[in-house]
Amino acid sequence: MNPTEFAALLNGREYGDEITKDEEQQAKAAGLVVVFGASDDLVELLGAINDEVGAYDGTTLRICPEGLLPEWPADSDEGWSEDEAEDYFRRKALGVHAIEAVWSPSEPACSWAFKTAVPHAAFDVMEDGELYCRGIVFSLADLGTSGA
């Protein structure tokens, strides 16, 4: 299954019922990542990446072929070990891509939308008949080795 087909499968689902556990497993097997907003402060990533990110008022996710790339620790007192730093730079060298989680965009008028140069397909999550979130589905295979 490709991102367009998977997004079509999810399109029109109700908030809270965006994806089933079986569909998460299907996405994982196909190398697909499903991204959508939850609540007013959370972004969910399910499928080939299984994670969540605090996103109060929006955020930018940094994705590499191995998943989310963490932020470099700004506080030197809570820095990383040498092994953690090596892993960070190894993963960063794979290519990092930005996905902007936009809270309350004007277009489309909804709670969450996502902007990225990563090839993807969009799907709509509804809440009481109105658009709640425009989520995206992308393939890890499309991340390649260059990023933004």
* Domain annotation covers residue 147: no
Domain that holds residue 138: 3-142
pLDDT of residue 75: 64
Predicted pLDDT of residue 72: 81
Tokens describing residue 87: 């892993």
Three-point CA angle 42, 120, 53, nearest 5°:
15
User: Does residue 42 lie in a domain region?
Assistant: yes
pTM over 0.85: yes
Task: Examine residue 132 and state whether it is found in any structural domain, yes or no.
Answer: yes
Q: Does residue 133 belong to any structural domain of this protein?
A: yes
Cβ atoms within 10 Å of 40's Cβ, excluding its own: 12
Tell me whether residue 78 is in a domain.
yes
Q: What is the pLDDT of residue 77?
A: 62
Structural domain total, the chain: 1
Residue 105 lies in a domain: yes
Contact (CB, 8 A) for 139 and 121: no
* In a domain? residue 33: yes
Instruction: Going from the first residue of the chain to its last (148 residues), give the mean pLDDT of each consecutive group of 10, the final group possibly shorter.
Output: 98 98 98 96 97 96 93 72 89 94 96 97 97 98 69
Would you say 114 and 136 are in contact if contact means Cβ atoms under 8 Å apart?
yes
Residue 18 lies in a domain: yes
- What's the pLDDT score for residue 135? 98
d(CA 141, CA 135): 19
Residue among 29, 60, 37 nearest 140 (CA): 29
